[in-house]
Each structure stands twice: as structure tokens, then as C-alpha cells.
Structure 1
Amino acid sequence: MRYSASHKLETREKLLQSSAVSAKRSGFSTVGVDGLMKAIGLSGGAFYSHFSSKDELFASVVESELRQSLERLGAEQDRDKLERCLKQYLSMCHVEHPETGCALPALGAEIARSDIAIRQQAEHWICQLQESWAQVLESDSLAWAILSQCIGALVVARMLATTELQHKVLKSSYDEIGRQIAGPGA
């Protein structure tokens, strides 16, 4: 039985979304093709009608997730909206639910170990986000610093076992970013 083109696209999208959730929760390299396909109710053999390799799927996950991050955190910001975004980003909800949040803290190490094409793709989206923040903050370097601090704070908070320390890391980072945004003497 042949499936329609729309069915194939829908299945590919389900696989992409399910793989992104799995990757952000457990890491991309930890789950095999069979496991990824089982998560959407299909056999492992069907995978290759959607992607030529697991690496191609990872590249698609990275592109999709970072595009979504840019849409949520990027364009058409003002300082108030940026501060609200940062508060959500540096939250316990984001720490506890990596599968629904930004891919960078969850997949950054895997992206760094990937081939140059995936790293270039990630760089493209990260630079667009940084440029969006730089326009709001009127500082290229401040945008890089805040972007890096947010990702790092989330990684550190997720590494910690104690909720109290997780809160402390997030609050300290948020407070310091607030001082950076406010500028000298504020």
C-alpha cells in the first residue's frame, strides 16, 4: 500500500518532533533508529524513507529546534519582552523540562561534537539570535555575554542535584543579567 505525499510529510514531521523531544530529554546519541521509530509507532525500517541517516535527522532536529528558539527568543524584541524571555529561560520549569525548552543547553555538547555542516547550521541560528538581542541591547558583546550566560546557567542548574542550588544559580544569573542590561551605575 502506497501512502500519500501528505502522509509521508506528516510522518516525517512526527519523527522530527519526537526525536527532538527525545534528544533534549536524553541526548540524541543515546537512542537508536529503532527506538526513534518505535516512539511514533513505526518499525525501524521505515526510517530510511524519511532520512538517509541518523546524522541527517540530527541536522534536521538542530535546524528545526534552533529556528523555533529564534522565533521564541529573537526578533521584534524590546527590553521588557527580552527581560520576560530571560525570566522564563532562567526558570525551574526550563530546568525540569528540557524537552519543551531551548535545544542549546540540552544538545550543545552533541552539536559541538558533530560535523562541520551541523556546527555551521547551529552557528547560523545562534548568530541570528545574538544579532536580534544586540539590536535591543545596543551592544554586540553584551548580547553574546547574556546568551552565553543563559545557556551556561541552565546547563549548570541541570547538573546540580539540589533544588535550592538550582534556584540560586538561576536567580544569580538572572540578577547579574539584569544589572548588565541596566548598565553602569544602575
Structure 2
Amino acid sequence: MRYSAEHKAATREKLLASSGAIAKQGGFATTGVDALMKAIGLSGAAFYSHFDSKDALFVALLERELSNSLARLGSGDGGRDKLKRCLAAYLSLAHVEQAQQGCALPALGAEIARADLAVRQRAEDWIVQLQQAWAEILEDPQLAWAILAQCLGAVLLARMLASSETRQQVLNASLNLLEQNLSAQGQ
């Protein structure tokens, strides 16, 4: 039985959403195709009607996640105030503790770094777009890179820690540092 194009597109989107949550929670490389498909109620064999390979799924997953991040965190209405709100949400205990719902970069950064050149290039394309959007808001490309690095590092470090208190200290310190830099830069 052949499915309609709409059904196939909906299944692909369901697979991307489910795979993103699974990968951000437990890693992409460690999860097999069968487990990814089982999560949406399909057999492993059905996977190949949506993607040529698991690497192709990884690229599509990264593009989906990073385009969503760009839409949420990029330029547009709100400018500096929106950026400050986004930083506060990003550097929150909720974001740290709910990796499956959060940013793909701190969760999958090590896997992206180990991926082949084509995957790293696609990730770089999206990350540079985000940096450029922030650089436009801030009128400072170096500060935009520094904020990106600080946010990713803080979330990654906080996720490595056992106690909520220490996690919160890392997040608060990072947010305070960024707010000070943004205030100084805005004067």
C-alpha cells in the first residue's frame, strides 16, 4: 500500500521530532534505527523510505533543530530585549534539566564534532546564521561569538554537575556575566 505525500511528510516530521528528543536525551550515535522508528510506532524497515541513511537523518535533524533555534533566537522584533529574554531562558535550570526539549548544540555538540565534514559544514552554516543575527542586534560580531560560546559552555557544564544548587550557580554566573557585558556594550 502506497501512502500519500502528505502522510509521508507527516511521518518524516514525526520521526524528526521524536529522533531529536531521543538524541538530545541519550545521544544520536548510540540509538539504533529500530529504536528511532519504534518510538513513532513503525518498523525499522520503514526508515529507508524517509532517509537514505542514519547520517542523512542526523543532517536533517540538525537542520530542523538549528533552524528552530534561529527562528527563536535570531533577529526580528524585540532586538536586545528579546536577546536578553532568550539568554535568561537558555541559561535556566529548566533548559539544563530537560535536554530533550532544549537546544541541540550542547546535547549533540560532541557528536557533531565527530561527524563527517558535510555534517559539520551544515551545522556551521546554521550556527553562523545565528551568530550573524546576534551580531546585527549587538553591532558586535565578536560579542555575538562570545555569547554563543558562553551559553553552550554553561549549559554543557551545568548538565555535567550532580546538584541543582551547583548547576544554578553556573547558570547564574554566566547570565550575570553576559548581562554585564551587554549593559557595558550598550552604553
| C-alpha contact 2:158 2:170 (8 A) present in aligned 1 | yes
Query: Hey, what's the Cα distance between the residues in 1 that align with 2:148 and 2:79?
Result: 16
Q: Which residue number corresponds to residue 15 of structure 2?
A: 15
Letter in 2 for 1:91: S
Partner of 1:30: 30
Distance 1:174 1:108, change over 3 A: same
The correspondence of residues 46-85 of structure 1 with structure 2, limited to 5 A, is 46-76=46-76, 77-85=78-86
* Partner SS state of residue 75, structure 2: coil
CA-CA distance at 1:185 after TM superposition:
11
- Tell me the CA shift for residue 184 of structure 1: 6.5
Name the amino acid aligned to 1:2.
R
Residue 100 to residue 184, structure 1, CA distance change in 2 (3 Å): closer
Amino acid in structure 2 at the alignment position of 1:43: S
Q: Can you list the C-alpha shifts for 1:112-142, whole angstroms capped at 9, x where unaligned?
A: 1101111111111101110111111111101
User: 1:48-98 deviations in whole A, cap 9, x for unaligned?
Assistant: 111111000001001110000000111214111110100000000100111
Query: What's the counterpart of residue 167 of structure 2?
Result: 166
Q: How far 1:30 moved relative to its partner?
A: 1.4
Identical counterparts, % of pairs: 60
Normalising by structure 1, report the TM-score. 0.97
In structure 2, distance between residues paired with 1:96 and 1:140: 30
Q: 1: CA distance between counterparts of 2:3 and 2:141?
A: 49
Counterparts in 2 of 1:155 and 1:175: CA distance versus 1, 3 Å: same
Unpaired runs of 5+ residues, structure 1, are none
Return closer, same or farther for 1:185/1:38 CA change in 2, 3 Å cut-off: closer
- Note closer, same or farther for the CA distance 1:10–1:175 as it changes in structure 2 (3 Å cut): same
- For structure 2, which runs of at least 5 residues remain unmatched after alignment? none
Q: TM-score, normalised by structure 2?
A: 0.96
Q: For the aligned residues, what is the CA RMSD?
A: 1.3
String of CA shifts for 1:130-177, please: whole Å, max 9, x gaps.
011111111110110011000000000000001110000000000000
Distance 1:114 1:156 in 2: 22
